[in-house]
């Protein structure tokens, strides 16, 4: 089932440019119980991704956006100091 990603309901919190990054972030958000939707810009005919052509945008409900952004910030901070 496809849910429209209108700007009054959903907020983009991240754009992933690599499949591994996408799966990692979705695992973190899902583990915290954050609902999310994806908008893919992938081109299936291409065996590679290039910039926006291979990106996937991650959206969360507006009400959950501050929490989701905090979760990603904590993850990024821990990963940057090697605690990841």
CATH number of the domain where residue 15 is located: 3.30.70.1530
Does residue 1 surpass a pLDDT of 50?
no
If one compares 41 and 47, the residue with the highest pLDDT of the two is 41
The answer to whether the predicted template modeling score (pTM) of the entire model surpasses 0.75 is yes
Contact 24, 63 (CB under 8 A): no
Please tell me the total count of domains within the chain: 1
Cβ within 8 Å of residue 78, ≥6 positions away: 84
Question: H-type helices in the chain, by residue range?
Answer: 19-31, 65-80
Structural domain boundaries, residue 50: 10-80
If one compares 11 and 48, the residue with the highest pLDDT of the two is 11
pLDDT in tens, 48-66: 555 556 789 999 999 999 9
In a domain, 15, yes or no: yes
């Amino acid at each position: 089932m496809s849910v429209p990603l209108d700007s009054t309901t959903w907020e983009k919190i991240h754009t992933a440019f690599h499949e591994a990054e996408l799966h990692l972030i979705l695992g973190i958000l899902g583990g915290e119980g954050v609902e999310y939707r994806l908008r893919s810009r992938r081109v299936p005919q291409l065996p590679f991704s290039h910039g926006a052509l291979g990106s996937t945008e991650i959206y969360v409900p507006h009400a959950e956006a501050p929490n989701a952004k905090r979760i990603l910030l904590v993850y990024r901070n821990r990963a940057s100091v090697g605690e990841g």
